[in-house]
Amino acid sequence: MSQTMNQLRAFFRNRDDLKVFAMNGSKVNKNIPDDIFKDYDVVFFSTNFKQYIEDSSFLDLFGETLIKTEPESDPICPNELLEGKGYVYLVQYVSGLRIDFQFRDIDTLDNYLKEDSLTQIIEDKEKLVTSEIMPNDSDYWLKKPSKEQIEFSIAEFWWLIPNILKSSLRKQEILAQFYFNLTRKELFQLIAWSIANETTWNENYGKEFSAILDKVTDKERQQIMSLFQVGTTDSLYKGIQTMMSLQEEYLKRIAPSYDIDLKKLLAYQHIPYTYLMSKDEVTLAKKFK
């Protein structure tokens, strides 16, 4: 057992108000190889959680704090997940250790146990958890889309591209990048859907579909990574062309399984050309013909 886990257990055992100690996240996910970057996501159920809001000095027990945030105290957009029944500290320590602390009212225990399949009960002083809890990542598996969801995503992809072009032509580079990022996310979702459709849906494709890189060809991997190198106007336009090419390829792969009218959706490919011609951007339009 790690030194950190020993410290967390001691912290839990030495406080009478703490009744249940749970963990979730990557540390309890057996499908993710252990490494030095895994964080501790801990949840303590208390009969008096507000004391940890009033006095946060306990955080120093685990080392020198590099930086911490308190989502419930965000003055613009406070975290509403806990609905006043808990508090969160996200702490990065100088040592490299990161611990995300949740303190919850004991009355929220039953609801918490339904929230996240990646939950493990570490200690339970009063045997309040009556059912066996086995952590698994099923809540994070890719959800199989409906035909309508796929068609909506494709339409959204093509809706966004004129916005990239308009912003770029206006020299609004930051806005162009914003729309490019949204378009890229729609593409990555389609790629993940297509791969899962051909293999299995019972898999976690990672944050922002990051696991697709392990499931595509070397050429496609290079194409995907090039979509993060679009800082110049020329590379931005090449990035749009690359996204269009990948989108067509993966749409063709998934369409038959969903009885999608492929001809109708492939007709969207004329949109960049038609849009640019409508703005008399003839030279640029030829790049997308």
> Would you kindly state where each structural domain of the chain is located, as residue ranges?
3-139, 147-288
Tell me what the mean pLDDT of segment 61-70 comes to: 96
The pLDDT, as a whole number, for residue 11 is 97
pLDDT higher than 70, residue 78: no
Tokens at 283, concatenated: 């030279």
Q: Is 93 helix (H, G, I), strand (E, B) or coil?
A: strand
Q: What percent of the chain is predicted at pLDDT more than 70?
A: 98
Which range scores top for mean pLDDT: 114-118, 160-164, 208-212? Answer: 160-164
Tell me what the mean pLDDT of segment 145-163 comes to: 97
The pLDDT, as a whole number, for residue 75 is 73
Angstrom distance (rounded) from CA 272 to CA 122: 55
pLDDT higher than 70, residue 1: no
Angstrom distance (rounded) from CA 116 to CA 273: 46
Question: Which fold, 3-139?
Answer: Beta Polymerase; domain 2 (3.30.460)
List C-alpha distances in Å: 210 to 191, 206, 217, 221, 231. 11, 5, 15, 11, 21
Is the pTM higher than 0.85? The answer reads: no
pLDDT higher than 80, residue 232: yes
Tell me what the mean pLDDT of segment 207-223 comes to: 94
List C-alpha distances in Å: 46 to 9, 20, 74, 105, 260. 15, 8, 23, 5, 52
The pLDDT, as a whole number, for residue 63 is 96
The pLDDT, as a whole number, for residue 6 is 95
Amino acid at 176: A
Tell me what the mean pLDDT of segment 180-199 comes to: 97
pLDDT digits (tens, 9 = 90+) for 81-138: 677 889 999 999 999 999 999 999 999 999 899 888 889 999 999 999 988 888 888 8
Angstrom distance (rounded) from CA 66 to CA 42: 19
Tokens at 51, concatenated: 């004391």
90 DSSP β-pair partners: 69, 100
Angstrom distance (rounded) from CA 232 to CA 183: 17
| Residue the block writes with tokens 């992809």 | 157
CA-nearest of 97, 110, 108, 91 to 27 is 97
pLDDT higher than 80, residue 141: yes
Question: Which fold, 147-288?
Answer: Four Helix Bundle (Hemerythrin (Met), subunit A) (1.20.120)
pLDDT higher than 80, residue 193: yes
pLDDT higher than 90, residue 45: yes
Between CA 115 and CA 218, with CA 201 as vertex, the angle to 5 degrees is: 120
The pLDDT, as a whole number, for residue 80 is 63
Question: If you average pLDDT over every residue of the chain, what do you get?
Answer: 93
| Residue the block writes with tokens 């027990």 | 61
pLDDT higher than 80, residue 76: no
Tell me what the mean pLDDT of segment 139-164 comes to: 95
Q: Higher-confidence residue: 36 or 158?
A: 158
Question: Could you tell me the pLDDT band of residue 34, with boundaries at 50, 70 and 90?
Answer: confident
List C-alpha distances in Å: 19 to 14, 32, 41, 86, 110. 11, 29, 17, 14, 13
Question: Could you tell me the pLDDT band of residue 77, with boundaries at 50, 70 and 90?
Answer: low
Angstrom distance (rounded) from CA 289 to CA 286: 5
CA-nearest of 238, 249, 229, 246 to 288 is 238
Same fold: 3-139 with 147-288 = no
Angstrom distance (rounded) from CA 262 to CA 269: 12
The pLDDT, as a whole number, for residue 79 is 64
pLDDT higher than 80, residue 3: yes
